[in-house]
Amino acid sequence: MERDHASTDELLSMCAARGLTIPLRDIDDRDRILSILGTQPTLTGAHTVTVVKNYTKRPRKWSVGDFVRYFNARYKALGGILRQRKELQGATAIARVKEKRGRESVSIIGMVVDKRETKNKYVVLTLEDPTGRIEVWVSPNRETSETVKEVVNDEVIGVVGQTSDDRIFANAIIFPDVPQTHEIKKGVTDAYVAFVGDVEVGSKLFMREEFEKVVLWLSGQAGTQEQRDIAERVGYVVFIGDLVHGIGVYPGQAEDSDIHDIKEQYREFARYVKMIPERIQVILIPGNHDAGRLQEPQLPIYEDFAADLYAMPNVHPLSNPCYVTIAKTATHPGFDLLLYHGYSLVYYATNVQSVKDAGGMKAMHEVMKLYLRKRHLAPTHGSNTYVPDPEEDPLVIDSVPDFLVTGHVHDVAYVNYRGVTVINCGCWNDVSDEQIRRGLEPQPGKLPIVNLRTRELRIMNFYTEERRKAVQAKREATG
Ligand SMILES: [Fe+2]
Ligand SMILES: [Fe+2]
């Protein structure tokens, strides 16, 4: 194409001829100019939200049979993903493996029902499929001994190994994972997405001033010129749950609240959302502090509690978890967001050896990578509370998203894992005395934003220096 060989000046005149304006700061950036020329970005055009998966099945009574069907549905979904792997295409049913005599190479796909360690440091996994159970032995002297540290109960994995007397000695453990070939998808418009962690309106610790500043920034009334330029391009704001402080979430919560009525908490939250310009699409999901059931998937915030939110045309209340596609156009597939509040994060940060080795509670992105590798948001029974939907396991990550977003732990963490932008969002509650006593270091007042054209992530800091100093002083006083 002629423009590939054109000089920067020639490119600029091409832009002028087409009526495209290039921001002053970009006039030396050839790639940027090319992109504007090629794509003619819409800055404030229609921002689209396509709901892909939103769990709205009404609650009902579950039976023991439902649990069985629920786990079968999980096995089927994850088994299907695993079977696409070359090493597992010939996977054998466990009952057939147990008929084999002598040493043979086999591969199986099974759900982990037990994990234990022998005196000789072998890790023994018990795997189950619809035909039976078998023990898989992992030697401490093999590479697999590292991989097995990631294995948790109730997840579905593949194993390649050698049979020997009713058991398998593992040569490889295979997770459903994100394909290695999965590439980061970039956009054609300059739209930004902002990710808002736990707001918890109604809590005494809610940082009203800082949060107001976010809303003012979004509406072009705060920030430097560069920040206002960005605000103009924000097309989407995601709230990742714990929108309000809630009522009776934990014992003694009332003492920490300054709004004691749940509807009033939502009205107050909605007042902020209303200040966000209407061109910005607002996506919100519930967390464990919100009104409604605690079991996952959590249904979208009930309309009776939050009528004000439902009355706004640019607000999309969805379930936890949910999938949405944003910025989809006639020529671009858009970006898939998998949104999950993150109730199970703490369980995996404190129970999985490989995550503990990588920093535990300070490495939430490692847990989120684990979700992607296991293609499940809470595989282990006990890591969350859930409804055993007999038709499907709604926490299976059946398609690879472009973004995996969580909150809940009031920390900011992010990583790019095989083309997936993984973000934990932080919060809008100041550090509590309890957190100081426990030596926790939450990161309030931070706002991750991502440019969809470049997929570049940056963190905007709204936490004031005065607050930081006050917390620092308390930490020193506590020793
Ligand atoms: Fe929270
Ligand atoms: Fe939470």
Q: What is the pLDDT of residues 364-396, one digit of tens each?
A: 999 999 999 999 999 999 999 999 999 999 999
Domain locations along the chain: 2-39, 49-58+181-478, 85-174
Lowest mean pLDDT among 396-410, 432-446, 450-464: 432-446
Spacing, Cα 270 to ligand 1 middle (Å): 18
Spacing, Cα 199 to ligand 2 middle (Å): 10
Residue bearing the bigger pLDDT, 266 or 7: 266
Spacing, Cα 171 to ligand 1 middle (Å): 41
Ligand nearest, relative to CA of residue 203: 1
Q: Is the pLDDT of residue 159 over 60?
A: yes
Between CA 476 and CA 344 the distance in angstroms is 32
Percent of the chain with pLDDT over 70: 94
Spacing, Cα 309 to ligand 2 middle (Å): 20
Question: What is the mean pLDDT of the segment spanning 87-97?
Answer: 96
What CATH class has 85-174?
A: mainly beta
- φ, ψ for residue 267 (rounded to 5)? -60, -40
The DSSP secondary structure of 40-81, one letter per residue, reads: ---SSS---EEEEEE--PPP----HHHHHHHHHHHHHHHHHH
Count of Cβ atoms closer than 10 Å to residue 251 Cβ:
7
Ligand nearest, relative to CA of residue 346: 2
Spacing, Cα 342 to ligand 2 middle (Å): 7
Please tell me the CATH code under which domain 49-58+181-478 is placed.
3.60.21.50
Spacing, Cα 123 to ligand 2 middle (Å): 34
Q: Is the pLDDT of residue 41 over 60?
A: no
Spacing, Cα 341 to ligand 2 middle (Å): 7
Contacts of residue 6, Cβ cutoff 8 Å, sequence gap at least 6: 14
Between CA 169 and CA 151 the distance in angstroms is 16
Contacts of residue 311, Cβ cutoff 8 Å, sequence gap at least 6: none
- φ, ψ for residue 145 (rounded to 5)? -65, -25
Spacing, Cα 363 to ligand 2 middle (Å): 17
Percent of the chain with pLDDT over 90: 83
Ligand nearest, relative to CA of residue 342: 2
Instruction: Check: pTM over 0.85? Answer yes or no.
Output: yes
Q: Is the pLDDT of residue 316 over 70?
A: yes
Spacing, Cα 244 to ligand 2 middle (Å): 10
Spacing, Cα 341 to ligand 1 middle (Å): 9
Between CA 262 and CA 257 the distance in angstroms is 11
Spacing, Cα 408 to ligand 2 middle (Å): 4
Question: What is the mean pLDDT of the segment spanning 21-38?
Answer: 69
Lowest mean pLDDT among 72-76, 184-188, 194-198: 184-188
pLDDT, residue 381, reads 96
Task: Give the DSSP H/E element, type plus range, for residue 11.
Answer: helix 8-17
Count of Cβ atoms closer than 10 Å to residue 60 Cβ:
8
Ligand nearest, relative to CA of residue 199: 1
Ligand nearest, relative to CA of residue 340: 2
Spacing, Cα 120 to ligand 2 middle (Å): 41
Q: Tell whether omega for the bond before 401 is within 30 degrees of 0, i.e. cis.
A: no
Across the chain, mean pLDDT equals 92
Spacing, Cα 306 to ligand 1 middle (Å): 18
Output the CA torsion 79→85→88→93 (10° steps).
Answer: 20
pLDDT band at 289 (very low <50, low <70, confident <90, very high): very high
Residues with CB under 5 A from ligand 2 (ion): 242, 287-288, 408
pLDDT band at 38 (very low <50, low <70, confident <90, very high): low
